[in-house]
Amino acid sequence: MQEVSIKSDYELERGKPIPSKNHGFIQTKLAVLISKSCEDKYEVVSEINVLINSNVKVPDLAIFQEATYTPGYDEINVEEIPVGVIEILSPKQSLADLIVKSYQYFEAGVKSYWLILPDTKTIYVYYAPNEYYAYFQKGTLVDNKLGIEIDVAKVFKVKK
């Protein structure tokens, strides 16, 4: 008997699985760490609809050079392409899907794509399809394209 998968409203709206506790933990940590290290250079926005070739993509985190909060003016779908995108693998998500997504982001003009694998405490920083650096559990992640440096242990709360 084949298992039938029923998608939630969240999954249908965003085109991706519901995030887990670990996913949310890492997403928050990354947003705070990047914001602290680059507060004058970038704005980090979570779960934003980015229009790419008339298709909506919803990265876990998007890094913008010039994003601003404007009371009274809001956007549901943003046409500005982020300089960086961060995706965190959810328990029910396919790694292959996230890698394919990276190609779409690069074609649109994203300079840096981070792929986070929570269970292995690994962060892959892609500068182009098949061109990446991997950071495992601790050490300093250096994104040369965006000029971002963060302590990987702080993302995963690994003791040094």
pLDDT digits (tens, 9 = 90+) for 116-137: 999 999 999 999 999 999 999 8
Give the per-residue pLDDT at 3. 55
User: Is position 75 within any domain?
Assistant: yes
Q: Is residue 8 part of a domain?
A: no
- Tell me, what CATH number does 70's domain have? 3.90.1570.10
- pLDDT confidence of residue 7: 47
Residue range 79-118, pLDDT digits in tens = 999 999 999 999 888 999 999 999 999 999 999 999 999 9
Of residues 129 and 3, which shows the higher confidence score? Answer: 129
Domain that holds residue 100: 16-155
* 10, part of any domain: no
15, 58 contact by CB (below 8 A) = yes
C-alpha distances in angstroms, 140 versus 37, 56, 72, 103, 148? 12, 32, 39, 25, 10
Instruction: For residue 160, tell me if it sits in a domain.
Output: no
As a whole number of angstroms, the distance between CA 69 and CA 66 comes to 10
Q: Cα–Cα distance between 138 and 127 in angstroms, integer?
A: 21
4 exposed, middle or buried (CB, 10 Å; 0-12, 13-18, 19+)?
exposed
Task: Let me know if residue 103 belongs to a domain.
Answer: yes
Q: pLDDT tens digits for 147-156?
A: 999 999 999 9
Residue 5 lies in a domain: no
What does the pLDDT read at residue 21?
83
Q: Is residue 114 part of a domain?
A: yes
What's the total number of domains in the chain?
1
- Give domain status of residue 57, yes or no: yes
How far CA 14 is from CA of 110, 126, 141, in Å, comes to 19, 23, 28
Q: What is the pTM of this model?
A: 0.86
